[in-house]
Structure 1
Amino acid sequence: MKITKNIIYVLVLALTIYSCDNEYDKEVILNETASLEGTIELVGGDISAPGERKGFLVTLPEAFDKKAQLTVKAVGKDFTETMAIVDMSAGATSAEGTIVMPDVSLNTFDKVEDYAYLQIVGIATGDDVTDADGDTTFVNDPNDNVRVTSNTVSVSFFQQVQAGYADSTIAGRMTVLFDWANPGANDLDMYMFSSGFAQVENSGSGSRYEQDIFNDTHPDGTYFVAIDFYTASGDIPWKLFFVHPDQITVSYFEGVFEGAASGDFVYPVVNFTKMTDADGVVSYVFEQP
């Protein structure tokens, strides 16, 4: 009798273990996800400023037969965050997008290295569905079980690289921002000339930052930036920021005006060339002499 009870106990224990193992196996299978290692890289350089747009390129190791939406996050040193979603067409493995940088308060003339980093943090696959009113909405596939991770890329911040223009105002146009140290004691003004010394732009606000939009009606050719020292004394570090017509690429130059004095006029500080290709696309090349 005792032997029989022991046999029954062993059989019940074996069935219990088998049952638990089966349930565990089912749970793993139901929740299994596919993990992808994507990559992200910056487009248009690695500098930006609070609230400005930064371009990026995301790439996946394989394509989907459905549309994919990737979520990119930007995180600042103070842990502020912004998000952006970029669409990737079915069959594609890469896509470009832009993200607005965290809008933090900075008070500095110098660059803050690696202020924020970007990373791919999510993905959804599905289809665009159009309703009766013609509105299109992305609908996530309920069977979507893909998870994505990626490398991180760093963005360095300046306090400002461009004035707060409306998007419609600067679309397709290049902007310039000039900054210099100790603006309370030094009042500098910015001018732009053609290679034939015809003045085409100027900015003289009397305060920190001189900024301008380079008019898109200016003809192709070579131009330069000149600086007028309305009030100045001693060595003055300076910086020039050129935001290209795509509004994400930034060309940046810096230097020191040594022994500056009121009434001085310095040129060329930076030379640049405007070019238009056969498709009407405008581009600029910059050079510090």
Structure 2
Amino acid sequence: MMKLNYIKHFGKFAFAAVLAFGVVSCEDDEPVSAGEGDPLTKNIVSVDATVTALQPNVGEGNLTPFAVTIGNSFSSDATVTVKVTFDNGDVSTGTALVPAGTTTGTGSLTMPSDDGFIPEGLVAENAGTLSATAILLDELVEGTTYVVSPNSTDIGIFSDTLGIAGGLNSIFDWSNPQNADLDFYVIDEAFTAIFEDSETGSRFESDLFQTNGREDGVYVFYTVIFTAPADEAIDYQVLSTLPDGSLNVFEGTLPAGSPQGSFIPLGSFEKVTDEVSGTISYTNFTAL
């Protein structure tokens, strides 16, 4: 009997507690909130963001600069995240800083690595896209989240580029390699000595201008036409990967009937060693 009486009284207590909770809940008419940043109450603002490739064609694995323009300025710096997507599905990201009070900033990202595919032409056109994916203000605005409304930009991918390799790592490519054979050289500005040569007979010629063992100064890329149809112009590109992974591009056209067996200058560069730090750099790239 005592056990049954205990259960009986407990049941009455539980029922009273539930009834009291219901009364309190009914009297509280304030909306339920998860606090600051509640996704149900915060203001979401869309910002237009356009990405421009500072080099319309890029190299796989290379460091590539870009610019970002947003639709309005802010009172604090804004960091915009940019994504590149290749047609093969490879993705890479980078950021650009848009200073306070302005609408444009610059940044860079490292392109996805080489997948081994070589296009028939000098460039695989529209083989990737650049787009903004996010924006973050240095000074957050309470109750407001900013998102980007991106505009994608198409980019092309060069036929092939080389990686970082302790110097200026260059590859030479040209049109109609099935019928045209060109060789590749690096010669000092005074044309006193051939420092590098590449004469493989294949589509690509390449050269690693070693950082060590080369004096500071101006050097020139040359080509020599070994054989080519006399009635065809030849488009070419010299793609040089610098020690920081960035890419310098020389592009041009050898006119139809260009002499065979003669050295034809393509572009020059300067090797410079900092007197204090000893840092070696390659600069003053000039198309010829």
Question: CA offsets per residue over residues 9-55 of structure 1, 9 Å max, x none?
Answer: xxxxxxxxxx9xx99xxx99614213333453434x22214454422
Contact 1:274 1:283 in 2 (8 A): yes
Distance 2:79 2:50 in 1: 15
Contact 2:65 2:108 in 1 (8 A): yes
Mapping 1:188-267, distance limit 5 Å = 188-196=182-190, 197-217=192-212, 218-234=214-230, 235=232, 237-243=234-240, 245=242, 246-256=244-254, 258-259=256-257, 264-267=261-264
SS in 1 for 2:159: coil
- The verdict on how the C-alpha distance between 1:80 and 1:92 changes in structure 2, with shifts beyond 3 A counting, is farther
- The verdict on how the C-alpha distance between 1:145 and 1:231 changes in structure 2, with shifts beyond 3 A counting, is same
| C-alpha displacement of 1:267 | 2.8
Q: Percent identity?
A: 21
Aligned counterpart in structure 1 of residue 65 of structure 2, from 36, 40, 55? 55
TM-score by length of 1: 0.64
Distance 2:84 2:281 in 1: 30
SS in 2 for 1:219: coil
- The verdict on how the C-alpha distance between 1:181 and 1:59 changes in structure 2, with shifts beyond 3 A counting, is closer
Aligned counterpart in structure 2 of residue 119 of structure 1, from 131, 141, 157? 131
Residue identity in the other structure for 1:258: A
Mapping 1:1-289, distance limit 5 Å = 30-43=41-54, 45-58=55-68, 61-62=73-74, 70-76=80-86, 78=87, 80=89, 82-86=91-95, 94=105, 96-101=107-112, 105-123=117-135, 145-160=145-160, 162-163=161-162, 165=163, 167=164, 169-170=165-166, 173-196=167-190, 197-217=192-212, 218-234=214-230, 235=232, 237-243=234-240, 245=242, 246-256=244-254, 258-259=256-257, 264-276=261-273, 280=279, 282-289=281-288
Question: CA offsets per residue over residues 140-197 of structure 1, 9 Å max, x none?
Answer: xxx883312344444233322x23x3x4x24xx3232211233334332211110232
| C-alpha displacement of 1:99 | 3.7
Residue identity in the other structure for 1:147: V
SS in 1 for 2:257: strand
Residue identity in the other structure for 2:45: A
Contact 2:62 2:241 in 1 (8 A): no
Residue identity in the other structure for 2:196: E
Question: CA offsets per residue over residues 197-219 of structure 1, 9 Å max, x none?
Answer: 21111112221100112222423
Count of residues paired in the alignment:
243
The alignment's C-alpha RMSD in Å is 4.2
Distance 1:41 1:73 in 2: 12
SS in 1 for 2:177: coil
| C-alpha displacement of 1:233 | 4.3
